[in-house]
Every structure is written in structure tokens, then in C-alpha cells.
Amino acid sequence: MRDRLRRLKEGNDAVILAHNYQRDEVQDAADYVGDSFELSKIASEIRCRVIVFCGVDFMAENAAILSPEKQVLLPVKEATCPMSHMISRKDVRQLKKRYPETPVVCYVNTSADVKAECDTCCTSANAVKIINALDADRILFVPDRNLGDYLATKTDKEIISWNGFCPTHQVITLGDVLIKRQEQPDCEIVVHPECRPEVIAAADYVYGTGGMLRHAAKSKARHIAIGTEVGMLHRLATQEPNKEFSALADTVCPNMKRTRLKDAVQALEQKKYRVTVPENVRKDAKKALDKMLEMGA
Ligand code: 13P
Ligand code: SF4
């Protein structure tokens, strides 16, 4: 499979991008493995004809928004992010009517349609920086209420959050943190900001997936327990082979796990599934993504 993929990549001038939550076999075969922000940046800068995006649909959509001249392929059509479906463009329009003159920041886990209605976008890697840089005392934040609540603890601004959530991170409870502390008192606990507020409050550190990798590189702890999708365990163990990692709970994102290596191969063989965004939506959504790339770098 790896050889077939290599030949197909060369023949098609393609690169394989994989999110940190992808299956081990996909991470190992990808050209770049990263967090949502890193992958958006790579997609906007890299020179190639085809991008095979091993992740979920909004990530491939971001690549298509930023680089419409490239052919962006999502190997499994059904790979989607349930949180991104918890808000629609109509919802954002209504929110804007209710809170006029209030900037709307959307998490990158949203559809192109929703991004087109928002002022700027953010990922977990740059959300605090972007919120604090905006010239406003009140900000509408969609769709992740946990990330919104976390942001409210990191700023003096008022954050009005939408009531969406990530079903995978929601599984992690305060009990999981307390049990881990009892079982392994010397381990460090690092959680994603999509976790429940009580989990975040009980953890030692809060980072997006890229931040977790940077933290693991400099941490003195021998054992780190993570509160995020279990794909990170492979990513961390590959980068830090001398440290031990465990997950706080059985946190599997079924959508991130849909893509197998054979799907990436078939994507290039059969040129499927092409992700495109209507030009009128793309232009407006690109403004929000460009602002994030500019402010959040
Ligand atoms: P990161 O931006 O931290 O990679 O997270 C993406 C995601 O989908 C988290 O659930
Ligand atoms: Fe969406 Fe959660 Fe899966 Fe991330 S882990 S893609 S936020 S469902």
C-alpha cells in the first residue's frame, strides 16, 4: 500500500496531509501530520497539484477555500465532524441580529457556509491570541461551548458561546482525571480545550494537539496522560519514544478513524472525493480563514 501510494503521489504531483488523530497507518504514510492550524497553513502554502486530506470534511474544505486551484480529495466522503453540524449559517445570521456590532469568531470546526458569515476563524492553537487581539469587549464564539468557556477564563472580554460540543471530548469526565491522579500520582495531565470545564480546571495543562506535542518535547515528566482523541498516542510515542503516554478515557473520534491507508490510495486512483466550495461562499469564508492565518501565526 505504501509503495502504491508513493507511485500515485509522484504520478499525480500529490501530497498527503493527515490530522494528528488519524489511524497510525495513515499518519506513517503521510507527508505532513499536524493540527488543524498547521494543516491549513501547509495547504495554503504548499506547491502541488493534488492534496489528499486525511481528516474530516471541514479540514478538506479549508484547503479548497485557501487553494481553489488545487484538487482537494477527501478519501472517505462520510468523514465529518459532528460539532461542525451543530450550527448553520442561518443560526449565525440570527445571532448577529441579536447582538449587532459584535464580532463573530468561529472555531475552524465549522462548514464553509458558517465561516462565510463570521469575521474571523480560529483553532485551538490560536484562539486565545485571536480573541485578545480583536478590538471588541464582547465576542460571539461558535460553535464549541467548552472552548468558549475556556476562552472566557483567558480574557477580560465577554464571550457569548454557542451551545455546540465535541462528542468525543465530552466523554472525558472529572472522574477520569481523579482516577488517573490516584493511580499515577507522578504523571502530568494535559487536556484539549474541547473538554468539559471541570476537566480543564483539574488538568495540569491545556493545549490543542500541536501544543501537546510541543509540550511533550520539553516536559520533564516521564509519563503524560492526555485528554483528547487516542490517535495522539501514536503521534506522541513516535515523537517521544522515551516517554510514556496514556489516555484519560477511551476517546475515539469515529469520523477521524474512517480513513484507512487503502482509502488514501483509492482516492488518488479514482480521484475521489473532490471537495469544492461555491465561489461566492469561498470568497467570504476565505476572508475569515485569511484573518486567522494573519492574526494567529
Ligand atoms: P486541533 O486543532 O487541536 O488539531 O484539534 C482539531 C480537532 O478536531 C479537535 O477535536
Ligand atoms: Fe469533530 Fe470532535 Fe472528531 Fe475533532 S474529535 S473532528 S471536534 S468530533
pLDDT at residue 24 in the model: 98
279 φ, ψ (degrees, to nearest 5) = -55, -40
Instruction: Collect all residues with Cβ–Cβ distance below 8 Å to 39 and sequence separation of at least 6.
Output: 17, 19, 32, 53, 55, 59, 62, 63
Q: Do 41 and 93 share a domain, yes or no?
A: no
pLDDT averaged over every residue in the chain: 97
Is the distance from CB of 63 to CB of 46 less than 8 angstroms?
no
Test site for ligand 2: of 56, 74, 172, most ligand atoms within 8 A of the Cβ: 56
- Do 155 and 219 have their domain in common? no
* Sheet arrangement for strand 14-19: 32-34, 14-19, 50-54, 71-73
Domain count, the chain: 3
Q: What is the pLDDT of residue 296?
A: 84
Residue position matching grid coordinates 501530497: 15
Q: Looking at the whole model, is its pTM more than 0.95?
A: yes
Q: Which domain holds residue 125?
A: 83-166+284-295
Examine the domain organization and report whether 96 and 157 are in the same domain: yes
pLDDT digits (tens, 9 = 90+) for 93-148: 999 999 999 999 999 999 999 999 999 999 999 999 999 999 999 999 999 999 99
Taking 80 as the threshold, does the pLDDT of residue 297 lie above it?
Answer: no
Query: Does residue 207 share a domain with residue 72?
Result: no
Q: What is the CATH number of the domain that holds 122?
A: 3.40.50.10800
Which atom from ligand 2 is nearest to the alpha carbon of 82? Answer: 8
- Do 122 and 53 fall within a single domain? no
Nearest CA to ligand 1 atom 7: 36
- Verify that 60 and 99 share a domain, yes or no: no
127 and 100 in one domain?
yes
Residues 162 and 288 in one domain: yes
109 and 65 part of one domain: no
Q: Which of 17, 21, 215 to mutate to test the pocket of ligand 1 (most atoms within 8 A of CB)?
A: 21
